[in-house]
Structure 1
Amino acid sequence: MTTTNGQKLPHQTDRTFVTEAGFETSMLFHKGYDMPHFAFFPMLRTEDGRAAIKEYIAPLMETARQHDAGFILDTNTWRSSPDWLDLLGYAKGDHVEINREAVTFAHGLRREFGQGANVIVNGVIGPRGDGYDPLSIMTASDAEEYHAFQVGVFADNGVDMVSAITITNTPEAIGIARAAADRDLPSVISFTLETDGRLPTGETLADAIAEVDASCVRKPAYYMINCAHPDHFSDMLEQGGDWVQRIQGLRCNASRMSHAELDGSAELDDGNPSELAQQYSEITRLLPNLNVFGGCCGTDHRHIANICDALHAD
């Protein structure tokens, strides 16, 4: 499968791809947008919000272009699943349009800023519950039914793939992968890890990947690690095993703080961009198929630029 603009996807090539960084933390701490429940899709509905998103995206795409890397352009839909839209007060009749306009905006960004670059439009799905704490866990069948709504809107509006970001448990990951397969879309599962390198449920990443793969006729295209600092999981990767072959992406936090500490912090911890970049470079020896590089909480275009420079130096 190729993308809607005829390019290969990350799992179909060993080419380097760059993702976005910590969009929500950048908007909150750098731009002063304070959105309820960390839902930033309402920015798409204001002129100032759209301008801020463009200002955020432009240097990231330019970094990808300068390093001859592909760019994975996320739709602003992490908090656009039905339960969150209900909580935020949106009528059922608006749910499809909110997700559709996010995909349309992403396609527009690709046209405006993506000339000369391989840009992938990536339909983003967030967890049904909290991205740090799986208070209640659905069955895989319930997760497939729940997330089929967003996947369906993405498929109908021409995304290139679907990525589930900050997923805390395996049944939800299985459901999302199955929903994507039902609509013939490649899926990516990105697990949140705690400071001990495990999922918030206590599962090891190795077990989680094995369980999802075994439970899906059409497996996820690849897996990612997100919302954790390299210090939290590098030792776990050192153990190795066949499962490390399935990890192709990293979106790490700039901060070494735990999720609880991050939640309670009134200031942004943006860490050390050059140090983080060096840690990314070191992790490439542990993950032989790693070719997708981005950031999560506290990161911005500086971190991505440093990461690309470090990888290029190697």
Structure 2
Amino acid sequence: MLKYRHNLPQLNGGTFLSDGGMETTLIFHHGLELPHFASFVLLATQEGREQIKNYYRDYLNVARRHGTGFVLDTATWRANPDWGEKLGYSPQALKAANEEAVDVVAELREEYEQPGRPIVIGGAIGPRGDGYKAGSMDAWEAEDYHAPQIATFAGTAADMVAAYTLTNIDEAIGIARAAQRLGMPTAIAFTVETDGKIVTGRSIQEAIEGVDAATGGYPAYYIVNCAHPSHFEGAFDHNSGWIKRIAGLKANASMMSHQELDNSETLDAGDPVDLGLRYRALTRQMPQVRVLGGCCGTDHRHIAAICEACLPTQSAA
């Protein structure tokens, strides 16, 4: 059933939570092995599907306590052709994994959704390469590359696609064009470095305006992703028009750079309370931000702290 594809509720007001750093949580807190940082491999077994469901339940319970909606993204950040091939997945097996990932979160939506608190299913897409390094595709190549995964989501109950940790403008343009051609609303999230710029050295403003210019403003909204708020909070011009296109924050727990995080053998979970306070400052300056989640190093405790800071007047459900 296509529940929200033609009217995304997070664009109509209210606060929506999202999950945190799935892969870092599953590896460092749950002790799971994820080859190539790919959580979708867990979908191959019933035990793995239950592990994914339990991961999501921690966040869905936070949303229930605070009376918010939720954007429930699938465990498919790595489920694209290049990573699938490295993991031994045929195109048919990869398509089945993306479909199974939607089925898993659709079951959770049936379990958790309540009147007035919608749960939006997002088909999660990651970059062709590494989320910390610049890719080399042009926009047309990116459109062709990502179209099969988006087409798979279009044939499921997914309400939208969400592309996370993108490192360059051209790949984002290609994803947005493919989503438009296939009739899927999309959110675009760029990885941001410690200098407040995306990996290629372009500003967040250049990235958002570049994608909008090339796609007729097709993305439903943008997300700032995979960086601590201290890295990007000074990069926003709150009097500009482009800033209003940002409707989501999914920040890292750690203040470390991506290189430092890549080389670390332990998880830096940062300070959840401080992270929450930084989100509160940002959302007061950016009232259009509706989707609050996390990225590397964050778990349900961080999202709960963000709720405590940003939604102090909402009572428990």
Coarse TM-score class (shorter-chain normalised): over 0.9
Matched-pair identity in %: 47
8 Å CA contact 2:238–2:286 kept in 1: the answer is: no
Structure 1 residue identity aligned to 2:293:
G
Counterparts of 1:7 and 1:141, CA distance in 2? 26
Task: Determine whether 1:167 maps to 2:171.
Answer: no
- State which drifts further: 221-230 or 34-43: 34-43
Counterparts of 2:121 and 2:255, CA distance in 1? 30
Structure 2 residue identity aligned to 1:98:
A
Q: Secondary structure at the match of 1:294?
A: strand
Cα displacement (A) at 1:7: 9.4
Gaps (5+ residues) in structure 2?
Answer: none
Counterparts of 1:6 and 1:177, CA distance in 2? 15
Cα displacement (A) at 1:259: 0.3
Distance 1:118 1:11, change over 3 A: closer
Distance 1:156 1:61, change over 3 A: same
Distance 1:168 1:266, change over 3 A: same
Counterparts of 2:7 and 2:91, CA distance in 1? 35
Q: TM-score, normalised by structure 2?
A: 0.94
- State which drifts further: 164-173 or 7-16: 7-16
Counterparts of 2:91 and 2:179, CA distance in 1? 22
Q: Secondary structure at the match of 1:236?
A: coil
Segments of 4+ moved more than 4 angstroms: 5-8
Aligned residues: 312
Task: Determine whether 1:313 maps to 2:312.
Answer: yes
Per-residue deviation, residues 60-85 of structure 1 (Å, max 9, x unmatched): 11211222211011111100011111
8 Å CA contact 1:254–1:296 kept in 2: the answer is: yes
Q: TM-score, normalised by structure 1?
A: 0.95
Gaps (5+ residues) in structure 1?
Answer: none
* 1:120 aligned residue: 120
8 Å CA contact 1:238–1:286 kept in 2: the answer is: no
Counterparts of 1:237 and 1:286, CA distance in 2? 10
Structure 2 residue identity aligned to 1:252:
A
8 Å CA contact 1:240–1:286 kept in 2: the answer is: no
* 1:251 aligned residue: 250
* 2:98 aligned residue: 99
Per-residue deviation, residues 72-124 of structure 1 (Å, max 9, x unmatched): 11111100011111111112331211111111111112112334541111001
Cα displacement (A) at 1:8: 4.8
8 Å CA contact 1:245–1:289 kept in 2: the answer is: yes
* 2:274 aligned residue: 275
Per-residue deviation, residues 40-69 of structure 1 (Å, max 9, x unmatched): 111112233222222211121121122221
Task: Determine whether 1:84 maps to 2:83.
Answer: yes
